[in-house]
Amino acid sequence: MNDTTILRKLQGPLRGQALLPQVYGSASDSAVDPVGAQLARQLQGPLRGQALLPQVQGSDSDRAVDPVGAQLAGEDVGKHAPDPKRTPVGARLAREGSTASPDLLAELQCHGVRWQGADGLARKGGAGPSDHKALSLGEHTAMVPMLNRASLDSPYSAVPDSSGAQALIFREGLQVGQVQLPGVPKFYGLNTEDGIPYWKIATLHSKDVLATTVLQHCIRMNEAATSCQFCAIGQSLASGKTIARKRPAQLAQVAKAAVELDGVKHMVMTTGTPQTSDRGAAILCESAAAVTAVVDLPIQAQCEPPDDDAWFQRLKDSGVVSLGMHLEAVTDAVRQRIMPGKAEVPLERYFTAFDAAVKVFGRGQVSTYILAGLGDSEDAIAQMSERLASVGVYPFVVPFVPIDGTPLARHPKPDSALMQRLYPRIGASLRKHGLHSDNINAGCAKCGACSALKHHE
């Protein structure tokens, strides 16, 4: 059977269904599933050993471990299927049901995806997961880079259907998955009394997280000698997609609508760093207090370590339940090169702040972003993650995404193999120290959409 025959059969009634959790590549694979092994031999090349699909399907109606592979090979499923209970692949299908493949997720978030449709619900510029779209792979919703220049050379492409509700994922012309696309939230259609669209005040991240940058300005953003080279906080403001300062009453109004109309589950409040010594904690306190006064919504606040640790208790008293203070890079050399202004706050100050914050919010309720791919080694990231987890701080490691319009727009994308090695190491540290994203009250690590780390906890 040649590649053309395989592709033609893939385009039939079984399109979008699960093939195999992975392409087979060993003698033992042939022994347990000769049909899948035969298919794998036809697909040797760039896909060998890689995850094929973001979801696998297994049910009583599946008479074979690999019904699609059997059909591709022209076999009779009922006659030639091995006993699923005795087959590792069959056991995995039955055990996992419809889930996201962590290997494919790591691939998509590192390479990006060439999006072949209207932008729709997406984020371009600004803080957080910029130049991304949300894709639901089984039960997991992920933020995947699609709108940046760096994604144009990705081997992956996505073709949405006419409804815009789902899309097919291809790698070099071969369909490898099917994803759902979260719709535009209802609260996006509302305006404040003075005519400001709600989506300029707060936006939907993933499928059920409300996010806002309270102050769309940073003391370091306008000077090359101090700015974080990966940051696009000023882009969305310059393009008219947001407003410079979100007032507490505005945030409360939008948050209430997002919960009531769209079922938002938690909220992220971040901020650019102001000139004040509290590093933004004060405006986060007043914003959180306003929101929690009108709606029951768990809030994570994000800022640099304030000069006075008393701000952590003030944040908690205002309604904040989780805190993020983000390292981004973990070694002094990379920090000074990539984020020279922020590097003036030494790592040891971050750790004294982490210790103080954990005493207020509890173990696992304090987290930090780490961007893999900026220049820190695999060992440096893994060792820092272990150190963080040991003091009760969740190390939320995500692949760096080059954002258009920033100094790092043409910086190399992280190697997906690096991420696939890192995630299990970080997961081991999380288990060792009893940390899990499901136990976080609110925030980026709880959401997990920008990383495949959840699959390795």
Q: pLDDT tens digits for 321-367?
A: 999 999 999 999 999 999 999 999 999 999 999 999 999 999 999 99
In eight-state DSSP terms, residue 245 is B
**Is residue 111 located within the same domain as residue 18?**
no
* Global pTM value: 0.78
Q: Which of 161, 180, 199 is the last residue of a domain?
A: 180
Sequence-ordered list of residues with C-beta below 8 angstroms from that of 142, at least 6 positions apart, any chain:
100, 105, 108, 109, 134, 135, 136, 206, 449, 450, 452
**Is residue 309 located within the same domain as residue 395?**
yes
**Is residue 170 located within the same domain as residue 193?**
no
CA distance 78 to 385: 48
**Is residue 392 located within the same domain as residue 297?**
yes
Side chain identity, residue 399: P
**Is residue 63 located within the same domain as residue 117?**
no
**Is residue 95 located within the same domain as residue 107?**
no
**Is residue 198 located within the same domain as residue 80?**
no
Element holding 134 (H helix, E strand)? strand 132-137
Distance spanning both ends of the chain, measured CA to CA: 40
Q: Which of 71, 99, 127 is the last residue of a domain?
A: 99
121: confidence class by pLDDT, cuts 50, 70, 90: low
CA distance 354 to 325: 8
Query: What DSSP letter does each residue of 64-112 carry, written as one string?
Result: SS-HHHHHHTT--HHHHPPPGGG-HHHHHHHHH-S---HHHHHHHHHH-
Q: Are 314 and 360 in contact (CB under 8 A)?
A: no
Give ∠ CA 70-74-79 in degrees, rounded to 5: 60
16: left (phi over 0), alpha (psi -120 to 50) or beta: left
In eight-state DSSP terms, residue 182 is P
What is the four-CA torsion angle of 252, 254, 258, 261, rounded to 10 degrees?
A: 110
208: confidence class by pLDDT, cuts 50, 70, 90: very high
Mean pLDDT across 19-23: 33
**Is residue 143 located within the same domain as residue 190?**
no
Which residue is listed with tokens 């690999």?
66
CA distance 234 to 126: 6
**Is residue 421 located within the same domain as residue 341?**
yes
CATH number of the domain encompassing residue 320: 3.20.20.70
Query: What DSSP letter does each residue of 269-318 carry, written as one string?
Result: EE----SSTTTTHHHHHHHHHHHHTTS---EEEE-PPPSSTHHHHHHHHT
pLDDT per residue as tens digits for the range 377-435: 999 999 999 999 999 999 999 999 999 999 999 999 999 999 999 999 999 999 999 99
129: confidence class by pLDDT, cuts 50, 70, 90: low
Specify the number of domains making up the chain: 3
**Is residue 271 located within the same domain as residue 382?**
yes
**Is residue 254 located within the same domain as residue 356?**
yes
Q: Measuring CA to CA, how many Å separate 57 from each of 15, 16, 24, 363?
A: 13, 11, 17, 36
Out of 116-130, 401-415, 438-452, which region has the weakest mean confidence (pLDDT)? Answer: 116-130
Question: Which residues span the domain enclosing 49?
Answer: 3-99
**Is residue 204 located within the same domain as residue 305?**
yes
Q: Which of 133, 164, 180 is the last residue of a domain?
A: 180
pLDDT per residue as tens digits for the range 49-86: 333 333 333 333 333 333 333 333 333 333 333 333 33
pLDDT per residue as tens digits for the range 162-193: 888 999 999 999 999 999 998 899 999 999 99
